[in-house]
Amino acid sequence: MQHRFEKADEWAPIFDDPKRDAWQKPDTVVAALALTPGMTVADIGAGTGYFEKRLVARVGERGAVIAIDIEPDMVRYLGERAQREGTPNVEARLATTDDPKLAAASVDRILIVDTWHHIGDRVAYGKKLASALKPGGFVAVVDFTLETAKGPPKHHRLTPAQVIDELTQAGLRAQVIDVGLPDQYVVTASW
């Protein structure tokens, strides 16, 4: 399933709504990444950049945040937001639906929030993510539970077991971690 999010300025009030903080718990999600100064983290499906400033705060000036999206207008918005927020170590990058455009062994962490269910061939995509991880790195997929009233229609959602299976088929070891999100689960995957 692919849903388009083409007009960043129209999506910004929704994606960046302060009410989102209550259920998305962005600080909790970012803490689960166990980021340290100097790391490189990729945010796949970055949208309007809801997580970027928080990620930059953890990786510091020597670290890097790669904000990835498939929508050219989102990438434009991400770049402008990085300038506005004074975060020069945020790189806005255009990817494709089947390729995150990450070099081999280039990132310490990969964050995928509310996006995994949009990816077509998730096993093939997962293999590309696995290839992009540095030793000791991991992927964190945050997506909606079947039970919550938030998120996409229920028939587009995935269970944590499905995500684990897809990442396992991609060659990674995956598991659910409990970080206390009310409407979502977190699956981490590493070598």
Q: Which of 80, 81, 87 is nearest to 60 (CA)?
A: 87
Residue 78 falls inside a structural domain? yes
DSSP sequence for 75-95: HHHHHHHHHHHT-TTEEEEE-
3-class DSSP assignment, residue 108: strand
Q: Would you place residue 71 in the very low, low, confident or very high pLDDT band (cuts 50, 70, 90)? A: very high
- Residue 6 CB coordination number (10 Å): 11
Quote the pLDDT of residue 2. Answer: 55
Residue 3 falls inside a structural domain? no
pLDDT exceeds cutoff 60 at 1: no
Residue 1 falls inside a structural domain? no
Q: Residues 120-179: pLDDT tens digits?
A: 999 999 999 999 999 999 999 999 999 999 999 999 999 999 999 999 999 999 999 999
Residue 2 falls inside a structural domain? no
Provide the residue range defining the domain that includes 138: 8-190
Whichever domain contains 180, its CATH number is 3.40.50.150
pTM: 0.94
- Residue 120 CB coordination number (10 Å): 10
Residue 102 falls inside a structural domain? yes
Q: How many domains does the chain have?
A: 1
List of residues 6+ apart from 46 with CB closer than 8 A: 52, 67, 68, 69, 74, 78, 92
Residue 82 falls inside a structural domain? yes
Q: Residues 86-133: pLDDT tens digits?
A: 999 999 999 999 999 999 999 999 999 999 999 999 999 999 999 999
